[in-house]
Amino acid sequence: MMNMMPKTILVGISNVNRKRDFTYPTSVVQDRIDFPSTGGSAPFISFLSKEVKPFVTNNFRTNGMATIIGQSLGGLLVTEILMNNPDMFGRYIIVSPSLWWDNASVIQEDAIKAYLDASNKKTIYLAVGKEGETMEKGAKSLHEVLKRNKNIVTHFQYLPDENHATILHQSLYNAFRILHPFKR
């Protein structure tokens, strides 16, 4: 990645309970049984918005272009932020999002109004590997939603040589190449 990207401030957030922090409340009974601690994404998103982002902005020289990256349940969280608070970040990297959560309610028509109304330009990279029908269908459905906002540049990649366990590194490399093109 050397010399592929401009100088970057990287913020990694350690997480105690990703099933709680990366999921919104579900109406699916089996989800609540299988994952009883879920449904805490709202406080986590508030923490990102009200504490993390202001801390970085106030303590470091930034250009105002923040990127968020998430994979699996993290990809679900990033999708939730994009759909509900699209202007929170300028770039979104979504890898193998677990959109099966709550019957994919995050990308249903009533959940995407803020996204469709977003007028600030942003770039989205979305990738999924050979991960089974549920994961692949969810990512393709998300891509269809993303294409509906003409103010937003979307890049979608299906990576058939990758699976849920191997996709992160290749997709991030691809995303950074797309988001930060450079001459070779």
- As a whole-number percent, the residues of the chain with pLDDT over 70 amount to 96
The H or E element spanning position 6 is none
pLDDT digits (tens, 9 = 90+) for 37-49: 999 999 999 999 9
pLDDT digits (tens, 9 = 90+) for 92-105: 999 999 999 999 99
- CA distances from residue 51 to 37, 44, 45, 60, 91 in whole angstroms, order as listed: 23, 10, 10, 14, 19
86, burial (CB in 10 Å: exposed 0-12, middle 13-18, buried 19+): buried
Strand order in the sheet with 91-95: 67-71, 91-95, 122-129, 152-159
The confidence band for 164, taking pLDDT boundaries of 50, 70 and 90, is: very high
Report, as an integer, the average pLDDT of 122-129. Answer: 96
pLDDT digits (tens, 9 = 90+) for 3-21: 667 788 889 988 889 999 9
End-to-end CA distance of the chain: 13
- pLDDT at 121 exceeding the cut of 90: no
Q: How far apart are CA 113 and CA 10, in angstroms?
A: 30
DSSP for 65-130 reads --EEEEETHHHHHHHHHHHH-GGG-SEEEEES--TTGGGGGGGSGGG-HHHHH--S-EEEEEEEES
The confidence band for 159, taking pLDDT boundaries of 50, 70 and 90, is: very high
Tell me the domains of the chain and their CATH numbers: 63-179 (3.40.50.1820)
- pLDDT at 184 exceeding the cut of 70: no
- pLDDT at 2 exceeding the cut of 70: no
- Phi (first) and psi of residue 112, to 5 degrees: -110, 10
